[in-house]
Amino acid sequence: MPETALLVHFWLPLALFPLGVALMLARDPPRKWVGRVLLIGCLLAPLLNDWDFITTGEAQALHLGLVVLGPTLMCAVGCLLALFGGPTPFAPLPEGVRQGGFLLLAGGIAWFGWLLFVDRPDISDTANPFWLHLIVSLLTLLVVIGGFAAAFTIMMGDRRWREALAMGSIAITSFILLIFLLAQGTEQDDPVFWRSASWGALGDLLGLLVGGGGALLTWIGERNMPVPEPVAPLSESEQALAREILAEHAGASGGEQE
C-alpha cells in the first residue's frame, strides 16, 4: 500500500481525532459543528480505503480496534451506570440503572474472555499480531493500577476497606490470569508467544511504576509539610489598589450588562 494512502486514511485521521473531540467540547456552536464534521471525517477516512489486512500493521491495528470496540463500550457504559446510578452527589442517575450497569460490565468482561479463550481475533485465518500485546499490556495495567488504587484507598481514606478489597481483587485476578497465560497459554497460542509479547509490556510497567512512585512521593511530601503560617493583613496601599481594580472591573461588567 502506498505511503500516501496510509497517511491520508490512517495517520492523519488518528492525529486529528483528539482535535475533533476538543472542538466538540467547546461552548461555541460553530466550533461544535467543526468538531462534529472533523470526527465524522476521521471515522469515515479508514473505511473509504481498500485495506490489505495481512500486510500492513496499520490495517491490523484498525481491525483490532474494531474488534475490541464492542466489549470496551459495554465495560465503559457499565462502569458509568454502576458508579453514578447509586447514592452519589455528582449528577446521580436513576437508581434502577445501577443493576443494568453491572450487567453490562459483566457482559463486556465475558466478551473479552470469549475473545481470549475461544474466538481469537484473526484476519483470513491469520492471527492478529497485536492481540497478544494488547492483552498482556491490559493485564499489566490492571495489576499495577489496581494495586496502587488499593494502597492509596487505604492510606488516604477512612474505613475504605471495602473499596480497597475491590481494587485489590482486580489486581490479584489480573495477576493470576497473566501468570496463567505466560505459563499455559491458550488453545490458539502457545505460551512461548505470550512470553514473547510480555516483553512489550515492560515499558508500560516501568512508566506506571515511575508515575506511581512520583505520586507517592508527592503525597508523602504534602503530608509532612508544616501548617502554613497566617497571612499578614493587607496594607493600606494594597487595599486601595484592590478597591481600584474591583471598581474598574465591576463598572465594566455593569456597562456590558446595560
How many Cβ atoms from other residues are within 10 Å of residue 257's Cβ? 6
One DSSP character per residue, 1-49 reads: --HHHHIIIIIHHHHHHHHHHHHHT-SSHHHHHHHHHHHHHHHHHHHTS
pLDDT of residue 258: 46
* Element spanning 126, H or E: strand 126-127
CA atoms within 13 A on the CB side of 149: 17
Gap between the Cα atoms of 215 and 152, Å rounded: 10
Identify the bridge partners of residue 122 per DSSP, sorted by sequence position. Answer: 127
Q: Is 199 exposed, middle or buried (0-12, 13-18, 19+ CB in 10 A)?
A: exposed
Q: Which residues of the chain have pLDDT under 70?
A: 1-3, 50-55, 86-91, 157-158, 251-258
pLDDT at 199: 79
| Count of C-beta atoms within a 10 Å radius of residue 170 | 17
d(Cα 44, Cα 143) in Å, to the nearest integer?
Answer: 36
pLDDT tens per residue, range 231-245: 888 888 888 898 888
